[in-house]
Structures are given as C-alpha cells and as structure tokens.
Structure 1
C-alpha cells in the first residue's frame, strides 16, 4: 500500500480528505488553484451525517463550539403562513445532534487549521495526469511535477480532473435555478434558527449563526448567466412584500456582500468514482442541487469513507473499489432526491401545483417529515482506526 497522496482542490471536501488521509498515516499535498484560501462563502447547515464525519476526522467539537443549533423554524409561504414546522429537539433525540448552522468560511478555517500549513499549495492548477505507470500517478501543476500513490480529485462541480478521466461525460448541467446569498454585516434576530419560504419559482431562506449574524439565500428560476448590476437591489425588488424577517435581513446586508452563482449539477451520473489510482470526491463526483442541504455533508462522508477504505484494504486498488462501491449508490441517490425536492419546492410555478404541494405539506404528520430528514442524515461513519 502506498503512502503519498495529492488532493486536488482545497475546499471543504478536499481539506477533509487530506485530514482523513493524514490520520491514517499518509503524506498529503493539497493543491489549490486559487492564490489565497480567503475564507469566502456564505452559510452552511450541517446535518448529523456531516457532523459524524467531522467527529471521525477529529474536528467535530471545534465545529460545534462555533455553530448554532437549528431547533426552531420551518417552511412558510410568502405571506408568512406556516407550511411545516421544524422540531430540532426531536431530531436531536433521534440522531444525537441537532442540525447546525455555521458560516462556510468558519468551517473551512477549522478544517485548514487541522492540517500543517506546509501541506497546502495555493496558486497551482493541475494541467495533466500521467497514469502510465501502474503504481504511481504523476501530477503536473503548472511548472511543478508531483508523484503520488493516490490522487484525490476534489476540484468542484467544474472538475478538470473529472474531464481528464471521463472526456465523453457531458459534465455539469444548469439546474434552472440561480442563487444569491449573503451574510448580514451586523447581528440580527431573525426569530428562528432556520427557515425556508417558497413562492412561485422562488425561495428565500435564512440560517442564524452563533455570533448573532445570519445568512440568507434567494433562489430564483432564471436563465443561466443572468447577472444584475446591483444584486441586493434586485433581491429587494424580487422579494418586496414577503414576510418578516426577510426585509430586515436584506436591510442588514452590505451591497458588496452578495454572492451570485448559478446552480449546476451532475445530472448524468458518473459510471465510477475511481479510475486507476485516482478517486473523485465531493462535487467533482456528485455535484447536486442544494435543496436537501446535503452537498457538503456528502463530501465529508466521501472523505471519511475513502480514508477508512485505504486503512482497511491491502492495496490502493482494492481500497478504491471499496470506496466506489460504498459511496456511489448513496451519494447519487441523495443527488436524485435533491433534484426532486427542488422540482416540487422552489421551482414550482403553476398555481394549482403549488396549492396541492402546500396542502400536502400542511397535512403531513411531523413524524413523517422527520423520517424524510432521517433517511439522509442517519449515516454512521466507518472506523478510521
């Protein structure tokens, strides 16, 4: 079994993979094309499966200290009527942890702190992989060359490594939705820990943080590539008249804090997450829509499962076969469920369909709603030791 790895991509999945590999004794180099890891991003919700993965990686407690539990909230209509209420206490009893809200930048910083600085290489883009030798992969990053026993591709939805491995795959597709999001510039009390509000072809949600600030996101049906000169003004215009605390969240936001991204996903599933001694992880393997809040959690599951397989199996090849067998069915099923959740949630526009959905949500017993969450969040990590 080899002991050197190159992780391509310094996001949440890549850093988690590097931590897991180091825990089992591997020497790891993380290659990130951005020149600076600047703690960008908005907010994130971590379900029990994500937290269990972080616990396995040894950083769960640090994340909990800087997170806020999601006990109150739910789903509403634009006029403020409740469609479904969240029972975070019941979820905590069932899973041992509540959903947690944390700034993405804070999670990224905590993961980065768990790695020695010298294993992070920034401003370097992978240009080629040489897999001609059976027990070694040569990675070319600009002018540098790295030889490794394993390459982990965690380079996101637009993964260059995935294109090198699967040149005939169609790659990511636009979901039909675009998202604008930001973190408030000052503390604000939104009244609940987590909310989603669904209108025709639109969603507005918030996550409250431990430091008193809150993240909000606005998801809209839109052609791909549409951008606004003043994104915050556009959100004000689009959600004018929606219930409190939406106006207050927007008023507490600096105009230059708004991020705008189209939502892309891998609609065509990959036939494998591994090729030779290269493993795909996170969005590079199974980019999904955010409708279940499972994207980062699935990447964290990938990281722990990969490290556990490498620690348990006699060869890299058998470990990657195990990783693919364990991760591909589950993560692709979650991706399908997320796509379906978007179609019956934020993306609905027909008034009759919206009425039927809202009625069904109001009539759904709380236990049945909780079972839907448990289906994805109730995952037990494999042992790393």
Structure 2
C-alpha cells in the first residue's frame, strides 16, 4: 500500500455500514459511503442493541449515548395470547449477566447518531452500486455506479440482505432463503397508556411491544405467510391476526398510523458463505450473515463486524492478510448466532395445538426452575467484548478529499 492516506468505500449506510465507516475514519482512513436509497431509514423501524453492540460502540465513543436511548428499565415478560406470563426478566438481571440491559431504540435515531461521526461530504445517497472488482494484492478494488467508478484500498459491503456485492463475489452460492415467516413493524404514539415490555407467542404468531423514548412504542409481529404476500391494509391484517390478544395489543394496532406499518418477509442464511471477504472486499451484517430477528442480533452482529474489521485493517497494513483474519474471527461466531436465532424462530412458528401447549408448559416450568431462562439464549453472545487493539477513542483525524 502507498504512503498516502488509504481510502475505503463503504457500500450501504445502514447500522453496520455507518459503524464501519466511522471506525475506519477514526483509525485514519479516508472514507466514502454510498447508499442506494435516496432517503433515510423507514419511520416504523426499531433496533435492539444488546451489551455486545454497546461495548463495540464504546470504541467509537458513543456507547453511552446509545445507552441513554433506553426508555424502559422495568421487567419484561414472555406471554401467551391470553396475557398469562410464562417467564419474566428484568433489566437488572440482564445487566448482572451481560454487563448491561438490551437497549431498544428507533433505528433512525441510531443512524443519525452514527452518521454524525462521519466527516462532511463522506455520505452519498441515491447512489446504487452496480458492480464491484475485488482487486488483489497488487491492484486496488473498484466499485461502479451510475455516476462513475471509484477505486479503493478497501471496499466494505454493507448493502443488506439483497447484497449486490455478495452476489458478485460469490456467484452460485446459497444466499438468504425464505423462512416462511413475515414480519410487521411499526412505531406508535400512545400517551398515557401503561405499558410493560413483552413478547407474546401464539400458534405460529408472535407479537412484541417495547416502549421507546418520548412516549413512543415499538411494535413488531411475525406470522407464517407465503413470501411476497401483501395486504391492502396491513393494520387490518394485524387486526385479523392479533386483534383478540391481550391488552395492549389491540389498542396498539388501532394507534398505528395509516401506511406506517412495515411488512417484510424474513430470510436467513443457514448455509454460511465460504468467507466474509474476497480480495480487498469485506462483507458485513446482513450481506454476510442474514439472520432471523428472534435474538435481536442482526444489527448487533453488524456492529461487531464493523469494529473488528476496522481494528484489523489498520492503515499501512496488508489488507488481504487482515481480511483473512477478519473471516477467521467473524465467520464461526456469526454462523452460530444465525443457527441459534433460527432455532427460536422455528419454536415461534409452531401451530399444532398440542405442540404449542407443550412448548408453553415447558417454557413456564423452566422459567420457574431457572428464572433467567430467557437470558440464557444470549449467553456467549451478549457478553462479547471487542478484541484488544489500537485505541480508536481519541480525536478524529482530518479527512482528505475522496479520490
């Protein structure tokens, strides 16, 4: 690599891409971020950031700002549609086990926080990447857009579950596959409505409620459904599926803004890629290891990817060697998280009455015998800490103009 400031192109301005860009910039890289969408995050999206992601964001100096986004510190429960509690956990128990509670925030707020760490002029929206050349030890990588070609010492592909870059690097490899589940998400405002964080499992149905800041509430739901399905009125579809469930589910459905419900088919990658890099290109987040949302680790693993990558890819180093280590560190871990998340997704998708009754009775019994049962699913995940390496918490470097 030349003695000039190395240049990284980050494809995708979601949570993982922005974290990678900020971490690389802080460690001395010039960064350019290309986002295909013309606008920011959809208004109805929330994100869970467990202690592992919070500690990763500590390396950027913003972990405490994310922790301050936590609106709810009380108990949370797993329930049946009747409202009967199967298990209950508290933020204090999570903090004792993992070093902090899970923070659920509005995704747009986290995106704004991370984007604020970038130098002026680094982020370009409405710029889809059409192709990529991964380069090699002697040749820089390049990405092609409708506006032209950019060359880079490193390309970070954070372009999501339908990643163009992943398809180009690993043609013919199994990508994300349908799970048979569809999700709905919405952020609603319900002033004065007393709420407790909860997740409720029914027969092939799941509903979650988490209070946010400023009186807002993040609602999410999943159900078995054929891929590609859409309803003329998604609120009516939620009313049909969940309208008879316990309080406050019906009230939250009625409070959803018209057109404010996001519906997405859930896909995951149970068959991992052979590597999370090729040449000078690194894949991270959903582009590398799409997973079901049941552990709340999709965004968390993307943040982990980003800070590990930035620590390994120090300016002036051997990029190909660094990316080989990145794959060695991240591939086994993310493969295990994908597997464990999909296991829970399958449990929530059961529809047989006898099977669901047995599931619920088992969860309730284990909850009585082991009160922290719900937290055990995050053992070995939420207690992760960033690897030691160069300190990235100092002043930001000056930003050379993109090349």
Q: TM-score range by the shorter chain?
A: over 0.9
Structure with higher helix content: 1
Look up the match of 1:199: 202
For the pair 1:291 / 2:274, whether they are aligned, the reply is: no
Distance, in Å, in 2 between the alignment partners of 1:253 and 1:41 is 10
1:12 aligns with 2:15: yes
Alignment of 1:101-250 (within 5 A): 101-132=104-135, 134-187=138-191, 189-192=193-196, 194-250=197-253
Moved more, 296-305 or 232-241: 232-241
Partner residue of 1:360 out of 359, 362, 367: 362
Q: 1:87-106 alignment to 2 at 5 Å?
A: 87-106=90-109
CA distance in structure 1 between the aligned counterparts of 2:121 and 2:331, rounded to whole angstroms: 32
* Alpha-carbon distance in structure 2 between the residues aligned to 1:188 and 1:301: 37
Judge conservation of contact 1:32–1:123 (CA < 8 Å) in 2: yes
SS at match of 2:378: helix
The number of residues matched between the two structures is 383
**What is the root-mean-square deviation in Å for CA atoms of aligned residues?**
1.7
Corresponding residue number in structure 2 for 1:75 = 78
> Which residue of structure 1 lines up, in the alignment, with residue 400 of structure 2?
none
Q: Does 1:380 align with 2:385?
A: yes
Which is further off, 34-43 or 149-158?
Answer: 34-43
1:92 to partner: Cα distance: 0.9
Q: TM-score, normalised by structure 1?
A: 0.95
8 A Cα contact 2:7 2:152, kept in partner: yes
SS of the residue corresponding to residue 352 of structure 1 reads: helix
Structure 1: gaps spanning 5 or more residues: none
- Between the aligned partners of 1:368 and 1:202, the Cα distance in structure 2 is 21
Choose between structure 1 and 2 for higher RCO, CA contacts under 8 A separated by at least 6 residues: 2
Residue number among 262, 268, 271 corresponding to 1:268 in the alignment: 271
**In the TM superposition, what is the alpha-carbon distance from 1:372 to its structure 2 partner?**
2.6
**Residues 48 and 274 from structure 1, CA distance in 2 versus in 1: closer, same or farther, beyond 3 angstroms?**
same
- In 1: Cα distance, 2:90 partner to 2:135 partner: 54
1:277 is aligned to 2:268: no
Tell whether the 8 Å contact from 1:188 to 1:214 is kept in structure 2 after alignment. Answer: no
Deviation of residue 40 (structure 1)? 3.8
Shift of 1:126: 1.1
| Structure 1 match to 2:34 | 31
Structure 1 pair 304/360, CA: closer, same or farther in 2 (3 Å)? same
Pairs within 5 Å for 1:310-329:
310-311=313-314, 314-329=317-332
State the distance in 1 between where 2:325 and 2:193 align.
46
Output the TM-score relative to the length of structure 2. 0.91
Matched residue, 1:57: 60
2:318 paired with 1:337: no
SS of the counterpart of 1:336? helix
- How far has the Cα of 1:36 moved from its partner? 2.4
Distance 1:248 1:148 in 2: 51
With 328-337 and 235-244 compared, the bigger mean Cα shift is at 235-244
Q: 1:351: which partner in 2?
A: 353
Instruction: State the shift of 1:135 in Å.
Output: 3.4
Structure 2 segments unaligned to the other structure (5+ residues): 392-403
